[in-house]
Amino acid sequence: MSSMAEGGREHSYSGGLTISVVAICLMAASCGLLFGYHVGVAGGVTQMESFLRKFFPEVLSSMKTAKRDAYCKYDNQLLTAFTSSMYIASSLSSLVAGRVTRRIGRQAVMLIGGILFLTGSIINAAAISVTMLIIGQMMLGLGVGFTTQAAPLYLAETSPARWRGAFTIAYHIFVCTGSVVASIVNYLTNPIPKWGWRISLGVAAVPASIVTVGALLVTDSPTSLVLRGKMDEARTSLQWIRGSDVNIEVEFKDIVSAVEKACQNEEGALKKLRSKCYRPCTVMMVAIPVFFQFTGMVVVFVFAPVLFRTVGFNSEKAILGSALINLVILFAVVISTFIVDCFGRRFLFLAGGISMMLCQVLVSWILAEHLGKHNAVTMARNYAVAVLVLMCLYTFSLGLSWDSLKWVILSEIHPVDTRSVGQAISMSIAFVIYFVQAQVFTTLLCHLKFGIFLFFAGCVMTMTAFIAAFLPETKGVPLEALQAVWARHWYWRRFIVQDAKHELDQSG
């Protein structure tokens, strides 16, 4: 049984965990495999000698030059464009995904996303030029942008309220799982001469096929069907999801009522986000994705193999180190799902931020003292291992805090009338910054050297102070009561009170 408060009443819903709801939620969550696999595979492929020899021989030549600056081995803008092009395509598709999802439904958008990703994986595996690679990457990005928009909404709208949090976080667990699988595939294909990279990129077709076939087999969410006026299909869908012997009338009426209210308020969502009363939501929907991108996560998710090659590991061990990093973050995310409602959001944000900052400072110190000294292009093995250990500790802290909590906070801060628009804006911001970081990271590493980690440490210190000052604790607070939490906050209450007074004055 689950309940929903509406207008002072509490409605009880029948139904629980059925085979249908588990199957369709797992299918939707598996969309995370697309994003996770690509992020994990791209960083490993960019340091494979077979890949570099085929498309970027100048980078391979620079790597083998003893006098070459150790930090500048991979400083090639065309090489980074191979990685970053996916994110600019994702940012563009996420901007239109909200409207497309509303018009044709969550299920159809996941299907389109799976087909686009499948197409991109085939193009990448068959690539004979850098242009073909980038086109394939952009197809992957379009697929990721659509599925990242549709899947979380689908999960929220179909899962039982009691287990909604677990099912929503399952999407991120699949993202991490995709990265782990990609690292393992890279490790197995790296020794294959000439065409090992083709297997790594081509295996992306497997999760794409899973999503595509899965989307064909499931029904659209009842909320999406009601939005498009398909009442009979929505009722049938809800009955199938909740179970054939379950009374769905109360829940169905609440869905219809919620959709009607959302449609009345939808056109004013952007205007509301500019009002003072919504100022906390607006600031957080921008600040959280921006801050997350500057935690240094680009090193973990994209360039971990490049970092490990830089400090002296060979290609095989660099990929193995990346696999270890991805396993650590998967482990941390799973732990976070069990403790986030015990310890609270703020505690995990603050503890994770302090730990991440210390790890980055220590990595910077090791690189400053032991990399590139005496014309050497690597460092002593024990120090290289120390960098790996510190990156694992950093990754664990990131997975326990920012990497998990960004999804929780962004899903909590908005009321219903601005939730869809706010999510689309946050996703677009995240993908744009992801693109910029992926494009410039190797150049920054080349020019800032060890200072790049001091830069990230400074960003983490700033964002940790921001959380301490401006984010109230939302643990255990119903979504309907969050406005009261903002109204009690030492800073945000001034905007909410002023806006309330303004509305009273206007009403006379």
Residue 204's pLDDT band (boundaries 50, 70, 90)? Answer: very high
- Please give the pLDDT value at position 359: 94
Residues 125/205, Cβ–Cβ less than 8 Å: yes
- Comparing 486 with 16, which gets the higher pLDDT? 486
Average pLDDT over the chain, rounded to whole? Answer: 80
Average of pLDDT values for 85-104? 80
Residue 63's pLDDT band (boundaries 50, 70, 90)? Answer: low
- Please give the pLDDT value at position 1: 39
- Give tens-digit pLDDT for 420-430: 677 778 888 88
Residue 141: both structure tokens together: 């990005």
Answer whether residue 101 shows pLDDT above 90. Answer: no
Tell me which DSSP letter residue 219 carries: P
Average of pLDDT values for 160-187? 80
Answer whether residue 11 shows pLDDT above 50. Answer: no
pTM: predicted TM-score of the whole model, two decimal places: 0.76
Run of H or E residues at 3? strand 2-6
- Please give the pLDDT value at position 337: 78
CA distance 204 to 29: 16
Answer whether residue 469 shows pLDDT above 80. Answer: yes
Distances (CA, A) of 453 to 87, 358, 391: 23, 10, 11
CA distance 166 to 177: 16
CA distance 491 to 40: 40
Residue 39: both structure tokens together: 């992020």
Answer whether residue 119 shows pLDDT above 90. Answer: yes
Average of pLDDT values for 32-47? 84
Contacts of 50 (CB under 8 A, 6+ apart): 192, 193, 194, 195, 196, 197
- Please give the pLDDT value at position 343: 84
- Give tens-digit pLDDT for 227-272: 888 888 888 888 877 777 777 777 788 778 777 766 665 556 677 7
- Please give the pLDDT value at position 4: 42
- Please give the pLDDT value at position 2: 42
- Please give the pLDDT value at position 108: 87
Residue 127's pLDDT band (boundaries 50, 70, 90)? Answer: very high
- Comparing 347 with 153, which gets the higher pLDDT? 347
β-bridge partners, 4? 11
Answer whether residue 133 shows pLDDT above 60. Answer: yes
Answer whether residue 5 shows pLDDT above 60. Answer: no
- Give tens-digit pLDDT for 342-396: 888 899 999 999 999 999 999 999 888 877 665 555 677 888 889 899 999 999 9
Residue 472: both structure tokens together: 């109230």
* Most confidently predicted of 198-202, 330-334, 435-439: 198-202
Residue 8's pLDDT band (boundaries 50, 70, 90)? Answer: very low
Helices 77-104 and 106-125, packing angle to 10 deg: 160
CA distance 484 to 477: 10
- Comparing 262 with 500, which gets the higher pLDDT? 262
What whole-number percentage of the chain has pLDDT above 90? 20
Give the number of residues written for the chain.
Answer: 508
229: three-class secondary structure by DSSP: coil
Angle in degrees, CA 422, 428, 429, rounded to 5: 90
Residues 405/343, Cβ–Cβ less than 8 Å: no
Answer whether residue 60 shows pLDDT above 50. Answer: yes
Of 105-109, 193-197, 199-203, 303-307, which gets the smallest average pLDDT?
303-307
What whole-number percentage of the chain has pLDDT above 70? 84
- Please give the pLDDT value at position 62: 67
Answer whether residue 457 shows pLDDT above 60. Answer: yes
Answer whether residue 10 shows pLDDT above 50. Answer: no
- Comparing 99 with 318, which gets the higher pLDDT? 318
Answer whether residue 505 shows pLDDT above 70. Answer: no
Answer whether residue 409 shows pLDDT above 90. Answer: no
Picking from 398, 415, 399, the residue whose alpha carbon sits closest to that of residue 285 is 415
β-bridge partners, 9? 6
CA distance 103 to 381: 56
Answer whether residue 138 shows pLDDT above 80. Answer: yes
Contacts of 456 (CB under 8 A, 6+ apart): 294, 295, 296, 299, 360
Residue 354: both structure tokens together: 């302090």
Residues 314/190, Cβ–Cβ less than 8 Å: no
Measured between its terminal Cα atoms, the distance across the chain in Å is 44
Answer whether residue 126 shows pLDDT above 90. Answer: yes
- Please give the pLDDT value at position 486: 86
